[in-house]
Structures are given as C-alpha cells and as structure tokens.
C-alpha cells in the first residue's frame, strides 16, 4: 500500500466512476433518482406523496487538525467538534449529544462516532482503485473480489442503518466502578444511508460448504495484536432480511478514512464491533473467529468477574456464551439537555425528546417516561423515520436501489417525544425513560456492571433541580473525563450509586456510603526497608513518603504538572495527606513505577506528627515549601453574593508572603463538622510585596437542597474570625520574572512579547498576578490580551482593577475582553455574549500565533480542555501554553 494518503478533497459516486473506469453498473430502471435532491425528497408513489429523509448537508473535514499531526493519523482530516474519549490517539470519539440529535435521523459523516482500535491505515486513491478482498476457508471456490467487480458485477443497494458501539453509555458504568473501557457518553451511535452489496450475494459466488458456520472478517489496520477481526454467524450473513452488507458509500459519498475507506462491513442490528472497516478478508469457518479482538473485546462477562479475575483467567473470554451479538434495547433523553434551564413559571408544556433503539432487527414498540421514579409511567410518541424509506422502495438513490419496502426488520434508531406540563416537571425530582422492543425486552432499572462496561442500558435518568423561578436539568454523566452529571455529584457526596435509588437516601434516610476504589500504588517486587537518614539524604533526587512507602520522584520531575518544585518540596517528608487529597486515580496508579521501598519503623515514628503546622519565625517571607505555616483569619468581606475576600495575618507584621508571580499556594482546613482535612491550591490576590497579611479571593460553591456545596469553599466560609488555617508553598510550573522573562519548571523559557490570557470565573486570580506585575512596571513592554469569560456581569471578579490596568497601560499594552455565557438583560452591558470559543479566540488572538507569544489559561476543567484543543487547532505549540 502506498504511503500517500487520500487527499483531502472528496469524491462522490461520479468520481468513483473516474477511479474505477466505466465498470459501474447500469442504473436500474426507476422512475426518479432521489439523490438529485439535497434535502428531504417528496415524490409520488402509487399516487400518494412520500417524503424520505436525505442526509443533512455534509461538511466533511478537509484539513488535518494540528492535534493529529504528531500522531500516526497525521493523514486523516477530521472535525474538531468530536469529543475525544481516549486522549488524542487512537481516535475514539462521539459527537456532542446536542449536535447528534439536532442533525436528526441521518448523521453527517464528519460527526459520525468513530471507534478505531489503532492507527487508520494509509490508503491512497490508487489503493482504492486496486482494492480487493479474499473469500477463503470453507468455500468450494476461494476467490479474490476486487472493489471494481463488487460495484460492477453485483446489484447495488442502499439501506439506512444505525451503528452503535457496544460501549455506548459506558461512562455511567465507570462512575459506579471503573471498567476496563473508556468513557462513552450516550452518543456512541450514528446513522447513515449505506450503499453497497448484500454480503449473501458475494458469499454465494464462492459457494460455502455445509461445514461453514461462521464468517470471519478482517480489516487491514495494523494493531498490537494483529489486524482487527471478528466473526458473525453465516446464517445471519446469508439472510437477506438482516441486511448484512459490504458498503463503499455512506450518505451518498465515498466512505471517509475513519469509517473504513474504501470498503467496510455493515451488520445492522448487531453491535458496531462486528462491522469491520478497511475489509481485506472474509474467511468461512466452523468455529468463531480466533482474532485477538474478537476474543478480548465486545463481551459481557458475568458481573461477578472482577478486572483482576478476568486478566488472570482467560477461560472467561473464550466462553461463547458471553459474546455480544444483537444490540439490546436502549434509550436516552436528549431534551432536556444537560444544564438546560426552563422557566418554571410557565403554564405551558415542555416537549421531552430522545432516541431509542433495539437489536436484531426488532422494533422499539414502546417508550415510557416516569416522573415519580418508576411508580407510574406515561406513554411517549414514537417516530420511525426508517419507515418512510419502505414506501419509497425500489427507487434509485446514489446509483443503487433503495431496498427497504419488503423488509419487516428495523435497522435504525427511532425518536420518542412526550408533552409534559411544566408544573409536573417542577413537582418532580427526576425524569426517567425506558424502552421496550417487540420481543417485550424492557430496559432494566438497575445497571448490569461488567468488566468491559458494555451494553449499558438501564433507565436513562435526568435529575430536575428547581431553583427559584427556574428548573434546570442534570444528565447522569458527561463523556470522557468531562466533569459533571448527577452520578459524579452523588458519589462525591458519599452516596452509593448501586443502592437501587441512584445513590439517594432510602429507608431510614441513610444512604449507604460507598468505599472509594482502592488504587494499588506499590510494587510487590520491591522489598527494601529504608531508614530516615537514607530518605533525607536525597534532596536533589527527591525521595518522599506516602502511606509508609518511599517513592523516588526524580524521573517525574519535569513532567509533574505542578512543576519540579512541588516534588522537590516533598523530599524527605511524609506527604500522604496532600498527595491523597490532590491526586487523581490515574496519578495514583502511576505510583508503583516510582516505588523503591518502605520506611522502617524507626523512620515512621520520627516522621509521624511531623506534619503539624509550625508557627515561627525569623524568615523574611512566610511561605515554606517543606512545612505548613498557620495564618489567622482577620477579615472576611462579601464581594458579591458568592464571592468572599479572606484576609489572613502572617507570622509577623513585616513578613511578605514569599510567592513568585504566577505561582500558587496550598491552603489546608479542617471540615467544621467531620474534621476531614481539605486542601486546595489558590493564588492570592494581594500584591506579593504586601507585608504582614495575605488576601485570598474565593468564589464559593454554594450548595442547594439537592446539590452539595464545594467542600473547601464551604469550610472556608464557615471559618470564624480569628481562627487559623495552614499554608504551604509556593508551587507551580510557571513563574513570571518581569519584562517578558519566564521560567517554566525552573528553566528560562523563550522571551515573551505578548501574553494571551484566557480565564473563566475565579481562574482570573493567577492571571491577575501576572497582568498586574506587567502593568505596574513602566519598563515592562509586554503586551497582554485577556479573554475573561463569566456567566453574568456580577460574576466578573476584579473588574474595576482590570479596567484600571487598561487605563494605566493603554489599550495597546492591555486589551481586556469580557464575555458573558448566560443570557440576561443586564442594563448597560455592551460587552460580548457567549462562551470563549474558537471564533472569539481567533478574532482577538488569531494574529498572535508567533514564537514570542505565550498563552496562560486558568478556569474550570471544561473550559481548559476546550481552549486547549482550540489553541492547538489555531496553530499554537504545546510548549507555548501554560495551564494553571
Ligand atoms: N474495523 C477495524 N478494521 N478496526 C477497528 O478498530 N472497530 C470496530 C468496528 N470496525 C474497528 C472496526 C468497532 S468496535 C466499532 S463500534 C465500529 O467499527 C465503529 O465504526 P465507525 O468507527 O465507522 O463508527
């Protein structure tokens, strides 16, 4: 296969003609070619007008995203809206649920979900023209079939089919207990019109023997365990009613690289994993596929099999009873969307909507919605757009025959909707949906957790929050690592998601508290005992202690997101408390690599209690990286309804805080009721030269009846004046030395002539420090462009000071753009509306993509993640971006 990939331009069927010569089949006789219409097509059938859905206008990506340029998929153009579920590579993505749903029945190929186990093969135009595949194994006439032959010698048909990944909705399973799979939201499915040839017709030509029971299929992707392959039953492939086909087009266009260019299998009604892409081999056998991906993927093992048991005992994987074949019945709510708000005052009705599907060609026969946790159910309307094609049977579309009229099988998703009086929503605490198929298979209330987290189909539940005159909705999860959703919230508050009541209080009002999953941070092969003397000799190559175990952080110094300082600060200390509070499960799982021994008993006795805060002190600056220092709360000012300015007095009146510009400090408090220790990083707002006190601006995460408040901010807000809390620091990878000079991980970075500063909400604080340092120094000619996103006007922090900087520095040195994400009628607001998105960034910072610029970003996770991919997309290099 050639190394030149298909160019970004796309060619429709006419171009296939150019590539494949004049071998295309003559158009079957027909009354009308539907594909000439670009939108829904209306025409007369037996005197009756019929409308069929045609694909929405596609806008197939033609450019390779910067994000992909450094990966093995640097030849694959893609759409930036797709949500990446496994980092940058391999490409496993789903569209945002809103985009998927708004596009309606057919999904444009650029938004169609993608599941790639590895790199996309390099396939060029010449490869397409010469493409062939084998039919081998238990057949009388083994043969090679070329794509040209497939198109010219077999009847071409088009059918609509929905592909669904078996992992659809897996994030909900991962929320209950981490499975061995990544976190799909509810958009792991998409629908297209597929054009090609029924597999049965092609197999018949090779004459399967009587012993043949399975069709094994193989792609040409090169994966760690060979090419991707799987099998289906031969009886399924040979049954024309089931629609198993070899497809070369979707929605009237050649397949895209991600979706199997130039030829893929489509198995309607079964999980997407059986629809092999980049097809090279069909092998008929009397036993199921032995391909690694068939054995170790796409199975639902018994719920009692733990991840450890599954990896130790391979017999589970070879048991055919656990293979997934047909899709199970499933549904989800799209409207209300996550975070959607509606006015609760209205006397009106709300139209709730969503999708449903079933497997094996079975039809969804009912969809029901409950507003009282399943005690009573209301029947929703179901719309099956697929049926419209049945009436248009035998018509010609994309030079093929629309082959639907005679089928009684269902290949696609359907849409449900129901009118609900707003007052009913207001009086309910949640809305749940369930679907049933024509075999009376019903979605269960409870989840069936399994080690691969597949086929998740419990009732889809959206929580309703009533706040004043508004109600807003909370979906169970958001895809990938995106924070949010009621499952995460309930779990963080100690609720047991498996208690049969979605983690809510039951019976005596007590919710069972679920134990956090234990992550193994040690290496069993490490047996060494380490003394306190040896531990403390390693200042330069920092050894530190977590839970009595000693770790060597040297190899991780440069990669640590908190900068090398934060590991060096831990050298020789027991940092169990802050390590446990701050680090994610993923970070914890990495620790076994750095485990070098255990601290001996004498060492533990010495270190124990070492963590008390020490009031000193003779030092001119307050902060110490290696010890907690107490400071006393002397004032708390209400800056706005949810923002407080806390002022703490330091150890001495002449002391400065000792915080380099752009760095942050740790604050440690005890929860007033539970006495739990809580730690968070903050950047103070006071000038670093201020003596005797430090000011910290904190946005409170206030709770409501149904939502717990932020632990740290609630504990801070509850602090009585004159109480003390502990500080430690500084920490951070970035430091601003002034006049364009920057240190990154303690090393000088390139000289900066312009900073683009992007922040959301309280993310302004570290940015504010840098901005102020620049504006207050007349000799500092560094320019700053600040994009500050907030929900409402009253949420904008430090607005007066920011305006003041523009006044001092002038608009050339300092440009500040505020944008508000929540609609409102704030009087006099002449600023921008909307979130910080690609358009805004391009408009205000697009011309600044140069080697001497740097971007500082601070805000909620979702903002940082979104901005990150936009910046890379716009041409910034990773090393120019700093995330606080
Ligand atoms: N075929 C090949 N060759 N390689 C793959 O990684 N993934 C499978 C299937 N076919 C895969 C493949 C899985 S698990 C799914 S869900 C579908 O492709 C997804 O199809 P799509 O990426 O076109 O949406």
CA–CA distances in Å: residue 56 to residues 60, 100, 193, 252, 268: 12, 12, 11, 11, 21
Measure the CA–CA gap between 860 and 762, rounded to whole angstroms.
9
Measure the CA–CA gap between 816 and 575, rounded to whole angstroms.
40
Question: Could you identify the residue written with the tokens 């939502």?
Answer: 707
Strand pairing partners for 471?
Answer: 342, 466
Pocket test residue of 60, 107, 115, 120 for ligand 1, highest count of atoms within 8 A of CB: 115
542 and 567 in contact (C-beta within 8 Å)?
yes
SS3 label, residue 578: helix
Give the pLDDT of residue 199: 98
Ligand 1 atom with the shortest distance to the CA of 116: 6
109 Cα: distance to centroid of ligand 1 (angstroms): 14
| Number of other residues whose CB lies within 10 A of the CB of residue 384 | 16
CA–CA distances in Å: residue 208 to residues 219, 263, 287: 21, 22, 14
Pocket test residue of 222, 246, 272 for ligand 1, highest count of atoms within 8 A of CB: 272
- The residue whose CA has the least distance to atom 22 of ligand 1 is 114
728-737: string of b/e by CB count within 10 Å (b at 16+)? Answer: bbbbbbbbbe
| Number of other residues whose CB lies within 10 A of the CB of residue 354 | 25
- 698's enclosing H/E stretch is strand 693-699
Kindly provide the residue ranges of all beta strands, DSSP E only, lying in 460-499, ordered along the sequence.
460-467, 470-474
Of the candidates 256, 267, 306, which has an alpha carbon nearest to the alpha carbon of residue 165? 267
**Cβ 116 under 6 angstroms from ligand 1:** yes
Instruction: For the chain, list residues with pLDDT below 70.
Output: 1-50, 506-518, 539-540, 561-563, 565-566, 577-578, 580-586, 605-613, 615-617, 672-676, 703-708, 824-827
Give the pLDDT of residue 29: 41
Measure the CA–CA gap between 323 and 199, rounded to whole angstroms.
22
Note whether 330-492 and 734-883 share their fold.
no
- Start-to-end CA distance of the chain, whole Å, equals 45
**Cβ 91 under 6 angstroms from ligand 1:** no
Structure token pair of residue 5: 């990939």
Measure the CA–CA gap between 50 and 46, rounded to whole angstroms.
10
358 Cα: distance to centroid of ligand 1 (angstroms): 19
Of the candidates 182, 11, 1, 224, which has an alpha carbon nearest to the alpha carbon of residue 91? 182
| Number of other residues whose CB lies within 10 A of the CB of residue 808 | 12
DSSP state at residue 272: G
648 Cα: distance to centroid of ligand 1 (angstroms): 57
Domain range list for the chain: 330-492, 529-606, 613-731, 734-883
Of the candidates 881, 559, 867, which has an alpha carbon nearest to the alpha carbon of residue 742? 881
**Cβ 538 under 6 angstroms from ligand 1:** no
DSSP state at residue 404: -
265 Cα: distance to centroid of ligand 1 (angstroms): 10
| Number of other residues whose CB lies within 10 A of the CB of residue 50 | 17
Structure token pair of residue 227: 């090419």
**Cβ 78 under 6 angstroms from ligand 1:** no
Give the pLDDT of residue 516: 41
Measure the CA–CA gap between 613 and 21, rounded to whole angstroms.
80
Give the pLDDT of residue 740: 94
Structure token pair of residue 467: 């706040």
Of the candidates 305, 335, 420, 482, which has an alpha carbon nearest to the alpha carbon of residue 864? 482
CA 228, chain centre distance (Å): 24
- Top CATH class of 613-731 equals mainly beta
**Cβ 176 under 6 angstroms from ligand 1:** no
SS3 label, residue 437: strand
113 Cα: distance to centroid of ligand 1 (angstroms): 10
**Cβ 355 under 6 angstroms from ligand 1:** no
39 and 280 in contact (C-beta within 8 Å)?
no
Of the candidates 561, 534, 563, which has an alpha carbon nearest to the alpha carbon of residue 552? 534
264 Cα: distance to centroid of ligand 1 (angstroms): 9
The greatest distance separating any two alpha carbons of the chain, rounded to the nearest whole angstrom, comes to 96
Q: Which residues carry out catalysis?
A: 165, 297-298
Question: Could you identify the residue written with the tokens 């999953």?
Answer: 517
Contacts of 588 by beta carbon, 8 Å cutoff, 6+ apart: 519, 521
Per CATH, is 529-606 categorized as 3.10.120.10? yes
825 and 851 in contact (C-beta within 8 Å)?
no
Give the pLDDT of residue 746: 81
Half-sphere exposure of 845 (CA within 13 A, CB side): 33
Residue-wise pLDDT tens digits, 661-719: 999 898 888 776 666 677 788 999 999 899 999 999 998 887 665 566 778 888 888 88
128 Cα: distance to centroid of ligand 1 (angstroms): 19
287 Cα: distance to centroid of ligand 1 (angstroms): 22
**Cβ 294 under 6 angstroms from ligand 1:** no
Per CATH, is 330-492 categorized as 3.40.50.2300? no
Pocket test residue of 83, 94, 116 for ligand 1, highest count of atoms within 8 A of CB: 116
Ligand 1 atom with the shortest distance to the CA of 114: 22
**Cβ 272 under 6 angstroms from ligand 1:** yes
Ligand 1 atom with the shortest distance to the CA of 298: 14
418 and 215 in contact (C-beta within 8 Å)?
no
Q: What are phi and psi of 176, to 5 degrees?
A: -75, -50
DSSP state at residue 46: T
**Cβ 96 under 6 angstroms from ligand 1:** no
SS3 label, residue 751: coil
43 and 389 in contact (C-beta within 8 Å)?
no
In CATH, which of 3.40.50.980, 3.40.50.80, 3.30.420.40, 3.90.1530.10 is domain 734-883? 3.40.50.80
- The residue whose CA has the least distance to atom 11 of ligand 1 is 116
């Amino acid at each position: 296969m050639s190394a030149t990939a298909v160019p970004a331009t796309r060619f429709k069927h006419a171009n296939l003609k150019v590539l494949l010569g004049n071998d295309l089949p003559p158009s079957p006789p027909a009354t009308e070619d539907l594909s000439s219409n670009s939108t829904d097509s209306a025409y007369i059938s037996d005197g009756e007008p019929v409308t069929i859905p045609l694909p929405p206008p596609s806008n197939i990506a033609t450019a390779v995203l910067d994000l992909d340029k450094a990966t093995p998929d640097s030849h694959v153009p893609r759409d930036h809206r797709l949500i990446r579920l496994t980092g940058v590579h391999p490409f496993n993505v789903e569209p945002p649920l809103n985009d998927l749903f708004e596009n309606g029945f057919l999904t444009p190929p650029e938004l169609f979900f993608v599941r790639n186990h590895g790199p996309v093969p390099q396939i060029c135009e010449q490869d397409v023209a010469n493409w062939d595949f084998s039919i081998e194994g238990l057949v009388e006439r083994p043969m090679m079939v070329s794509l040209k032959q497939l198109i010219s010698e077999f009847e071409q048909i088009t059918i609509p089919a929905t592909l669904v990944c078996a992992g659809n909705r897996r994030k909900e399973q991962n929320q209950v207990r981490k499975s061995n799979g990544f976190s799909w939201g509810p958009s792991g499915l998409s629908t297209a019109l597929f054009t090609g040839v029924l597999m049965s017709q092609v197999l018949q030509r090779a004459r399967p023997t009587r012993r043949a029971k399975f069709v094994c299929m193989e792609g040409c992707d090169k994966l760690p365990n060979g090419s991707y392959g799987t099998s289906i039953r031969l009886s399924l492939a040979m049954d024309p009613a089931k629609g198993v086909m070899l497809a070369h087009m979707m929605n009237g266009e050649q397949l895209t690289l991600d979706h199997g260019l130039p030829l893929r299998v489509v198995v309607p009604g079964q999980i997407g994993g059986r629809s092999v892409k980049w097809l090279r081999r069909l092998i008929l056998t009397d036993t199921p596929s032995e391909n690694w991906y068939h054995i170790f993927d796409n199975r639902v093992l018994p719920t009692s099999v733990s991840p450890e048991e599954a990896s130790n005992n391979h017999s589970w994987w070879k048991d055919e009873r656990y293979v997934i074949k047909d899709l199970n019945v499933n549904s989800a709510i799209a409207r209300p969307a996550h975070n959607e708000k509606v006015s609760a005052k209205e006397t009106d009705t709300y139209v709730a909507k969503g999708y449903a599907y079933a497997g094996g060609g079975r039809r969804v026969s009912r969809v029901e919605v409950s507003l009282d946790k399943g005690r009573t159910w209301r029947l929703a309307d179901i719309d099956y757009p697929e049926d419209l094609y049945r009436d248009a049977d035998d018509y010609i579309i994309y030079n093929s025959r629309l082959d639907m009229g005679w089928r009684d099988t269902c290949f696609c998703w359907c849409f449900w909707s129901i009118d609900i009086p707003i007052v009913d929503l207001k009086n309910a605490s949640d809305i749940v949906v369930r679907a049933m198929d024509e075999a009376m298979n019903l979605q269960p209330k409870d989840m069936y957790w399994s080690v691969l987290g597949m086929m998740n189909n419990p009732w889809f539940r959206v929580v309703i929050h009533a706040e004043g005159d508004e109600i807003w909705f909370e979906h169970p999860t958001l895809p990938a690592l995106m924070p949010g959703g009621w499952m995460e919230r309930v779990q963080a508050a100690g609720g047991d998601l498996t208690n049969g009541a979605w983690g809510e209080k039951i019976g005596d009002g007590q919710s069972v508290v679920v134990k956090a999953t234990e992550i193994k941070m040690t290496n069993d092969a490490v047996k060494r005992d380490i003394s306190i003397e040896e531990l403390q000799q390693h200042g330069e190559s920092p050894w530190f202690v977590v839970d009595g175990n000693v770790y060597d952080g040297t190899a991780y110094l440069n990669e640590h997101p908190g900068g090398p300082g934060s590991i060096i600060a831990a050298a020789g200390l027991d940092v169990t408390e802050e390590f446990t509070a701050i680090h994610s499960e993923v970070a914890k799982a990495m620790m076994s690599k750095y485990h070098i021994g255990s601290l001996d008993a004498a060492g533990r006795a010495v270190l124990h209690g070492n963590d008390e805060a020490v009031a000193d002190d003779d030092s001119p600056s307050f902060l110490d990286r290696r010890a907690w220092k107490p400071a006393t709360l002397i004032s708390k000012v209400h800056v706005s309804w949810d923002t407080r300015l806390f002022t703490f007095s330091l150890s001495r009146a002449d002391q400065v805080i000792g915080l380099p510009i752009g760095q942050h400090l740790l604050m440690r408090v005890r929860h007033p009721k539970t006495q739990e220790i809580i730690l968070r990083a903050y950047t103070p707002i006071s000038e670093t030269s201020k003596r005797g006190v430090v000011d910290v601006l904190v946005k409170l995460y206030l709770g409501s009846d149904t939502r717990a408040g932020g632990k740290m901010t609630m504990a801070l807000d509850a602090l009585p004046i004159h109480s003390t809390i502990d500080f430690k620091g500084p920490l951070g990878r970035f430091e601003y030395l002034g006049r364009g000079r920057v240190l990154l991980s303690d090393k000088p970075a390139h000289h900066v002539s312009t900073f683009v500063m992007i922040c959301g909400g309280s993310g302004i604080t570290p940015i504010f420090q840098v901005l102020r340092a620049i504006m207050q120094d007349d000799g500092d000619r560094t320019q700053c462009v600040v994009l500050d996103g907030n929900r409402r006007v009253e949420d904008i922090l430090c607005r007066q000071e920011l305006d003041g900087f523009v006044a001092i520095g002038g608009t050339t040195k300092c440009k500040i753009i505020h944008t508000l994400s929540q609609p409102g009628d704030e009087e006099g607001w002449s600023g921008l509306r909307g979130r910080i998105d690609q358009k805004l960034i391009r408009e205000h910072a697009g011309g600044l993509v140069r080697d001497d610029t740097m971007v500082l970003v601070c805000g909620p996770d979702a903002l940082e993640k979104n901005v990150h991919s936009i910046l890379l997309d716009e041409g910034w290099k990773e090393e120019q971006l700093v995330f606080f």
